[in-house]
Amino acid sequence: MAFLRPSSFLDSGSTIFGGTVTLRTPQILDYQAWAELRAESRNYLIPWEPTWSRDELTRAAFRHRLKHYARDMRDDQVYPFFIFDSGDDNLLGGITLSNVRRGVSQTGSIGYWMGRPHACKGHMTSALHALVPFIFDTLKLHRIEAACLPHNTASIGLLLKCGFEREGYASRYLKINGAWQDHVLFGLLSEEIRR
């Protein structure tokens, strides 16, 4: 796994290679593939995500999203990636490090989604394994957090497989699909990976 251009991460198209997947920051040229995959996967994704806006899949909403990403990356708060198949460069899903906190915390939160046709094929495991060194070695964070719904067995399995530890349970933690829902909390520390 190699990260290209670590000193100039904020430029468009920064890439992380991770075996079967490639992670790249979103670009306007990704709009069509992103909109099609999200539309095709809508019913699959809705139970696990915040409520979609009426204009969720429009080009204008995508541009707005990219503007926010650029600002948040510049401010060291969010690092978004699209996940591509290393073989054919097809868009598979997305993974984002968000809510980066510096100071005494040195932590951030992981969120991810996978398009329905690509789910349960190991792509997200590869993506998370590729992203972890960037988080700990390049960004120098100490801790990664993740939360998932208690009945999301695929997500729980992914986090455990990637070395995350179950740390707790948060009642009505996030508003998912229009309702405040409980979440299982997970964490991964940099020293655990180095061990």
Q: What is the pLDDT of residues 54-86, one digit of tens each?
A: 999 999 999 999 999 999 999 999 999 999 999
The CA-based angle 157-42-98, given to 5 degrees, is: 55
Q: Please report, for residues 16, 21, 39, 48, 58, the alpha-carbon distance to residue 42 in angstroms, rounded to integers and kept in the order given.
A: 27, 22, 5, 10, 14
The residue with greater pLDDT, 19 or 154, is 154
Task: Give CA–CA dist 160/195, Å, rounded.
Answer: 16
- Per the CB < 8 A criterion, the answer to whether 163 and 121 are in contact is no
Confidence at residue 13, expressed as pLDDT on a 0 to 100 scale: 62
pLDDT range class, residue 11, cuts 50, 70, 90: low
Confidence check: pLDDT of 25 > 80? yes
Residue 155 is inside which H or E element, if any? Answer: helix 153-161
* Sheet architecture: strand order including 91-101: 2-3, 15-18, 21-24, 79-85, 91-101, 107-114, 143-148, 179-189, 165-176
For the chain, give percent helix, strand, coil, nearest 5: 35, 35, 30
Task: Give CA–CA dist 106/111, Å, rounded.
Answer: 17
Q: Tell me the CATH number for domain 2-194.
A: 3.40.630.30
Q: How far is CA 63 from the centre of its chain?
A: 19
Confidence at residue 53, expressed as pLDDT on a 0 to 100 scale: 94
Task: Give CA–CA dist 148/155, Å, rounded.
Answer: 7
Domain residues of the chain, as ranges? Answer: 2-194
Instruction: Give the SS3 label for residue 54.
Output: coil
Task: Give CA–CA dist 71/68, Å, rounded.
Answer: 5
Confidence at residue 19, expressed as pLDDT on a 0 to 100 scale: 85
Confidence at residue 95, expressed as pLDDT on a 0 to 100 scale: 98
Q: Who contacts 59 (Cβ-Cβ below 8 Å, separation ≥6)? A: 31, 35
Mean pLDDT of 150-168: 97
28-38 pLDDT tens trace: 999 999 999 99
